[in-house]
Amino acid sequence: MSSGFWYTEEQTPNLRYSSKITQTLHTETTPFQELAMIDTVQWGRMLVLDNMVMTTIKDEFVYHEMISHVALNTHPNPKKVMIIGGGDGGAIRECVKHAKVEKAVLCEIDGRVIETSKEYLPEIASALFGHPKVEVLVADGVKHIQENENEYDVIMVDSTEPVGPAEGLFAAEFYQAVYRALKPDGIMVAQTESPFVNADLISRVFKDIRSIFPVTKLYLASIPTYPSGLWSFTMGSKQYDPEAVDVSAIPEMETRYYTPALHKAAFCLPKFVQDLIKE
């Protein structure tokens, strides 16, 4: 994973990303993946799974705010929320900021990600320390979704890259199960990788979700430690259009990236991204 004092991630066969490290805090092989926690000069503490950067102290707020608040401020009454994956706790931390959210369920297949994040990233995992709105399930998210129907207002798919334990979270059959698990006006949102690096995946996933949900939209955020720095999220909604939200009615909350204006601006896509998802 590291060469001297550098951590290097092979993001594609032709692209590597390196960060200077000060300390390797923890490494282990879980039943599902290789897990490491390292301290870096540029990005602070970093969670790495299967030699891929999952989150860092310096830029985690971008991803976690954007996977959470766009959907939660699109749905008018998101009482019950499910996060599939997201064992670092960042997305569920953002969910419980919403007064209308009464219950947020985290379903993470690898319990060691949860425990290690609580130990080394407590500021990200803060909602996992007994928050009254939070329920934690150490379970297979695909199986859990298949066993529930008409249960959730919002489902967030906070997955790792589409390999290993997360591969099933990018399949059309999974999105169909998510649709069934949502209430009649429910919303799903999934992280869908980089339009520079994963163009084919974005096109396929968007097509799959669009074939299931009446409203399907893609939006972007800038996340510097992820491949290319430009990241996509795809939303499938049974009823509500995220671009039709009255941003003046969005309640104030403490954020560092997401704003009401950005809620709409994130859907303004560059031409090359529009071309990836056109019919």
Q: What is the CATH number of the domain that holds 76?
A: 3.40.50.150
246 is in an annotated binding site: no
162 and 220: one domain?
yes
> pLDDT tens, 208-251?
999 999 999 999 999 999 999 999 999 999 999 999 999 999 99
217 and 90: one domain?
yes
Position 171 scores a pLDDT of: 86
Helical H segments across the chain, by residue range: 60-72, 90-95, 111-120, 141-146, 172-181, 199-210, 260-265, 271-277
* Start-to-end CA span in the chain (Å): 41
Instruction: Determine the structural domain holding residue 257 and report its residue range.
Output: 60-277
Strands 52-56 and 6-12, bridge-based pairing: unpaired
189: burial class by Cβ within 10 Å (0-12, 13-18, 19+)? buried
Among 12, 41, 56, the domain boundary falls at 56
35 and 79: one domain?
no
pTM assigned to the model: 0.95
7 and 145: one domain?
no
Nearest Cα to Cα of residue 111 among 45, 165, 55, 151: 165
140 is in an annotated binding site: yes
Please state, in angstroms and rounded to a whole number, the distance separating the CA atoms of residues 55 and 46.
6
Asked which of 117-131, 156-170, 209-223, 265-279 is least confident by mean pLDDT, the reply is 156-170
135 is in an annotated binding site: no
> pLDDT tens, 81-125?
999 999 999 999 999 999 999 999 999 999 999 999 999 999 999
31 and 166: one domain?
no
User: How much of the chain, in percent, has pLDDT values that exceed 90?
Assistant: 92
Between the alpha carbon of residue 80 and those of residues 65, 121, 135, 137, 185, the distances in Å are: 18, 25, 11, 15, 12
Please state, in angstroms and rounded to a whole number, the distance separating the CA atoms of residues 206 and 148.
23
Token reading at 3: 């060469």
122 and 195: one domain?
yes
- Mean of pLDDT over the chain: 95
Please state, in angstroms and rounded to a whole number, the distance separating the CA atoms of residues 103 and 246.
24
Position 215 scores a pLDDT of: 99
231 and 170: one domain?
yes
Please state, in angstroms and rounded to a whole number, the distance separating the CA atoms of residues 141 and 266.
27
Between the alpha carbon of residue 12 and those of residues 48, 161, 196, 221, the distances in Å are: 16, 12, 11, 20
Position 121 scores a pLDDT of: 99
50 is in an annotated binding site: no
Backbone angles phi, psi at 231, to 5 degrees: -125, 145
Judged by DSSP in three states, 163 sits in coil
Would you give the DSSP letter of residue 170? G
Helical H segments across 5-88, by residue range: 60-72
156 and 224: one domain?
yes
Q: Could you give the number of structural domains in the chain?
A: 2
126 is in an annotated binding site: no
129: burial class by Cβ within 10 Å (0-12, 13-18, 19+)? exposed
116 and 153: one domain?
yes
For CA atoms 248, 249, 252, 253, the dihedral sign is negative
68 and 187: one domain?
yes
Please state, in angstroms and rounded to a whole number, the distance separating the CA atoms of residues 41 and 161.
24
109 and 212: one domain?
yes
CATH of the domain at 42: 2.30.140.10
Judged by DSSP in three states, 204 sits in helix
Judged by DSSP in three states, 85 sits in strand
Catalytic residues: 158
Among 56, 71, 95, the domain boundary falls at 56
49 and 76: one domain?
no
85 is in an annotated binding site: no
Among 29, 56, 83, the domain boundary falls at 56
